Chain A
Amino acid sequence: MVNKSPTNPVAIAGQALFYGLFAVIIGYFSTSPKYRHLDDNTSLIKLSFSYHGEPVGECRERTPEELAKLAPNMRTPRVCPRERSPITVKFDLDGKTLYEGMVRPAGLSKDGASTLYRRFEVPAGEHLVSVKMNDNVRVQGFNLVKEEKMTLKPAQILVVDVRKDRGGIFFE
Chain B
Amino acid sequence: MSANPSLRQSGLALWQRIEHGLDAFFGASGNPLRHLGALGFYFLWIALATGVYLFIVLDTGVEDIHTSIQYYTHEQWWLGGILRSLHRYAADGLVLVMLLHIVREFLYGRYHGFRWFSWVTGVPVLWLVYASGIGGYWLVWDQLGQFSAIASAEWFDWLPVFREPAARNFLTPGALGDRFFSLLVFLHIGIPLLLLLALWVHIQRVAHSDVFPSRVLALGMFVTLLALSLVKPTVSHGKADLSMVPVLLDIDWYYLFAHPLMYLTSPGALWGMAAAFTLLLLALPLLPHPKQPPIAVVHPPNCNGCRRCFVDCPYDAIDMLPHPDKPGHQLARVIPELCASCGICAGACPSSTPFRSVETLVTGIDMPQQPVGALREEMERRIAALDGPVKIAVFGCACAADAARLEDRSTAVLDLMCTGLLPPSFVEYALRGGADGVLVTGCREGSCAYRLGTRWTEERLTGRREPYLRPTVPAERLRIAWADGHELSQLKAELAHFHQTLLSLAADEKRPRAYTPRRIQHG
Contacts and interface: CB of A to CB of B under 8 A. Distances in A.
A joins B in a complex: yes
Interface of A: 1-2, 4, 6, 10-11, 14-15, 18-20, 22-23, 25-27, 29-32, 34-38, 40, 43-44, 46, 48, 50, 106, 112-113, 115-117, 119, 154-157, 159, 161, 172
Nearest to A31: B250
Contacts of B157: 117
28 contacts: A1-B24, A4-B27, A11-B25, A14-B22, A18-B32, A19-B223, A22-B32, A23-B225, A23-B231, A26-B96, A27-B232, A29-B253, A29-B254, A31-B250, A34-B249, A35-B251, A35-B260, A36-B249, A37-B246, A37-B263, A40-B247, A50-B165, A106-B163, A106-B164, A112-B163, A157-B244, A157-B245, A159-B171
Nearest to A112: B163
B206 interface: no
B167 interface: yes
Main secondary structure of the interface of B (DSSP, over half): helix
Residue from A26, A112, A117, A159 whose CB has the most chain B CB atoms within 10 Å? A26
A18 B252 CA distance: 22
Contacts of A38: 245, 247
Given A19-B223, A117-B165, A31 B247 contact: no
Interface stretch (B87-95, B271-279, B472-480): B87-95
B456 interface: no
B25 A27 contact: no
> Which 10 residue pairs are nearest across A and B when measured between Cβ atoms?
A14-B25, A117-B165, A31-B250, A50-B164, A35-B251, A2-B24, A19-B224, A4-B27, A115-B164, A23-B228
Interface of B: 22, 24-27, 32, 88-89, 92-93, 96, 147, 154, 157, 163-165, 167-168, 171-172, 216, 220-221, 223-225, 227-228, 231-232, 234, 242-254, 260, 263
A1 B483 CA distance: 14
A116 B165 CA distance: 7
Contacts of A25: 96
Contacts of A14: 22, 24-26
Given A38-B247, A117-B154, A155-B244, 11 more contacts: A11-B25, A11-B26, A14-B24, A15-B26, A19-B220, A22-B32, A26-B228, A34-B249, A37-B247, A37-B249, A46-B171
Contacts of A43: 245
Contacts of A154: 247
Contacts of A161: 171
Contacts of B243: 156-157
A34 to B, nearest CB: 6
Nearest to A161: B171
B173 to A, nearest CB: 9
Contacts of B245: 37-38, 43-44, 155-157
Contacts of B167: 48, 117
A22 B224 contact: yes
Contacts of B249: 34-37
A158 to B, nearest CB: 9
Contacts of B225: 23, 26
Contacts of A112: 163
Residue from B167, B231, B248 whose CB has the most chain A CB atoms within 10 Å? B248
B126 to A, nearest CB: 18
A86 to B, nearest CB: 15
B168 A37 contact: no
B172 to A, nearest CB: 6
Nearest to B23: A4
A27 B89 CA distance: 7
Nearest to A119: B154
Contact of A34 (B228, B232, B250): B250
Given A14-B25, A44-B245, A34 B251 contact: yes
B224 A23 contact: yes
A26 B32 CA distance: 15
A18 B171 contact: no
Contacts of B260: 35, 37
A34 B248 contact: yes
A117 B168 contact: yes
Residue from B154, B171, B223, B225 whose CB has the most chain A CB atoms within 10 Å? B171
A103 B104 CA distance: 49
A23 B25 contact: no
Contact of B25 (A15, A20, A46, A157): A15
A48 B166 CA distance: 11
A31 B250 CA distance: 5
A136 B168 CA distance: 24
A48 B220 contact: no
Nearest to B250: A31
Contacts of B223: 19
B248 A15 contact: no
A25 B97 CA distance: 12
Contacts of B163: 106, 112-113, 115
Contacts of A19: 220-221, 223-224
Contacts of B263: 37
A49 B483 CA distance: 66
Given A4-B25, A29-B92, A157 B247 contact: no
A30 B88 contact: yes
A172 B173 CA distance: 10
A30 B254 contact: yes
